[in-house]
Amino acid sequence: MTPFFKVCIAIGFFGGICLSTPSQVRFAPQENAIVLNASVHDKGAQNSAFSDLTKAWRSQPQDLSVSLAYARAVFQIGLAEGDLRWFGAAKAAILPWWKKDDLPADALFMRGLVKQGFHDFTGGLADINKAIDLKPNKAEFWSWRFALHLLKTDLVAALQDCESIDRLFGQDESKAYRAILRYRTGDPQVAIGLLKTLLNSPNYQSASSKEWLALHLGEAYRVAGQSDMAIATWNKQLKITPKSHMIKLSLAELWVQEGQYLQVKQMSASVAPTDALLMQYVLALKGLQDPAEKNLAALLESRLKSQSLRQEALIERPQLIYFIDYAKDPTAGLSLSIENWKSQQEPRDAVLFLKAALALNQPQAAHAVVAWLDKTNYSDPQIKELQARLKTQLQSAPSAK
């Protein structure tokens, strides 16, 4: 049975259940009852700017520059809130130019971003490459290309991007990228040094810069096995930017990994957690043997089933975690991991892939991850432990005797 077929079965299974699920009960709330805890238009200090962009786009949806400005705004909100629906909004804004070749660099770049948001990494990279050809002096084009090269484990190209950033924008700017490349290739201590320097530099004190650097510094600490430092870094940052989805998620994942479930429970009192945070919350409640786990797991399952019913190939990490870490269906988890790994290779996906292979006693299935680890030299405490277990399983496998 091919992995694809297994994925279809999993999707079909969920879909079947969903279709046979009775409709949700209808009710009439009280007039003062809150039915949406956070208005879509509540963007704090950015309220007015976002509102203006929205109005401008709705009145001139065929104007490329207006549409690009709106698409960029909603794409950034999507990244900050961890909400896929904003990517859908960005695509809707640039849809009239979706298949056009003759576009300015900014439009190609935006289209590339949206494409990679939908996991079309090849298409996204092609658009960004064209954008760089047209306008090589735009730093963000290079930064995204670097990101996609790393995602596809094209380390040579990623290093070349760092060198180009060096050459075009100066060495200071490329330090952050080099730091990321270092901790993704087995040298987290060097990355920690570089990121700490940048974090203390007076040039990097804007809120967004500090958040970004703190996030990576924490990640470098985590990779280096310094979990306490990672948690302290992210905790400190969370106090400054309490709404940051990625900081919250990174912290929750590490707390769950470290067995600090109570911390996750205390943090995740959010009224509308993202699927990724909800998944971590469920894992934490499971660790605490909290009776509330059942209801929240049901909520998560319901969300995943609705997604499965869409019959789309987009593989989301919460689904992988649900199958593998939450041990609901390691077989489906392994099949999805194999599919997912073909399009993107990231440390967290590697961990899940290894766990699924180990849980099913199929160590050979993880050969792609082993090759990736050899190629990148990446390691972190979780990977090390899983690699050791993999080695043991491989030695005791019948074919190894």
Which residues in 136-155 contact other proteins (CB under 8 A)? 139-140, 143-144, 146-148, 150-151
Measure the CA–CA gap between 126 and 153, rounded to whole angstroms. Answer: 16
Comparison of 283 and 363: residue with beta carbon closer to other proteins: 283
237: Cβ contacts below 8 Å, ≥ 6 apart: 210, 211, 214, 215, 218, 244, 247
Interface residue with other proteins, options 1, 28, 45, 156 (CB under 8 A): 28
Q: Which region among 71-79, 99-107, 257-265, 366-374 touches other proteins (by CB under 8 A)? A: 71-79
358: Cβ contacts below 8 Å, ≥ 6 apart: 366, 386, 389, 390, 393
33: Cβ contacts below 8 Å, ≥ 6 apart: none
Comparison of 250 and 263: residue with beta carbon closer to other proteins: 250
Which residues in 72-111 contact other proteins (CB under 8 A)? 76, 78-79, 81-85, 87-89, 91-92, 95
Q: How far is the CB of 78 from other proteins (least distance, A)?
A: 8
- Secondary structure of residue 120 in the 3-state scheme: coil
Interface residue with other proteins, options 11, 103, 107, 116 (CB under 8 A): 116
- Secondary structure of residue 173 in the 3-state scheme: helix
Comparison of 72 and 130: residue with beta carbon closer to other proteins: 72
Q: Are 86 and 74 in contact (CB under 8 A)?
A: yes
Q: Are 90 and 78 in contact (CB under 8 A)?
A: yes
Interface residue with other proteins, options 220, 246, 252, 334 (CB under 8 A): 246
> Which letter does DSSP use for residue 242 in this model?
T
Which residues in 339-378 contact other proteins (CB under 8 A)? 340, 344, 346, 348-349
59 sits near other proteins (criterion: CB under 8 A): no
Interface residue with other proteins, options 65, 306, 377, 396 (CB under 8 A): 306
Q: How far is the CB of 393 from other proteins (least distance, A)?
A: 26
| Overall size of the chain counted in residues | 401
Measure the CA–CA gap between 146 and 263, rounded to whole angstroms. Answer: 34
Q: How far is the CB of 318 from other proteins (least distance, A)?
A: 7
Interface residue with other proteins, options 53, 69, 113, 223 (CB under 8 A): 113
Residues in the interface with other proteins (CB under 8 A) total: 98
Within a 10 A sphere around the Cβ of 206, how many other Cβ atoms? 9
Q: How far is the CB of 108 from other proteins (least distance, A)?
A: 15
49 sits near other proteins (criterion: CB under 8 A): no
| Closest alpha carbon to 307 in 322, 293, 324, 319 | 319
Which residues in 166-225 contact other proteins (CB under 8 A)? 169-170, 172-173, 176, 180, 203-204, 206, 208-209, 211-212, 215-216, 219
Q: Are 397 and 357 in contact (CB under 8 A)?
A: no
Comparison of 150 and 386: residue with beta carbon closer to other proteins: 150
277: Cβ contacts below 8 Å, ≥ 6 apart: 82, 245, 248, 249, 252, 268, 270
163 sits near other proteins (criterion: CB under 8 A): no
Measure the CA–CA gap between 178 and 172, rounded to whole angstroms. Answer: 10
Interface residue with other proteins, options 135, 196, 303, 328 (CB under 8 A): 303
Q: How far is the CB of 392 from other proteins (least distance, A)?
A: 29
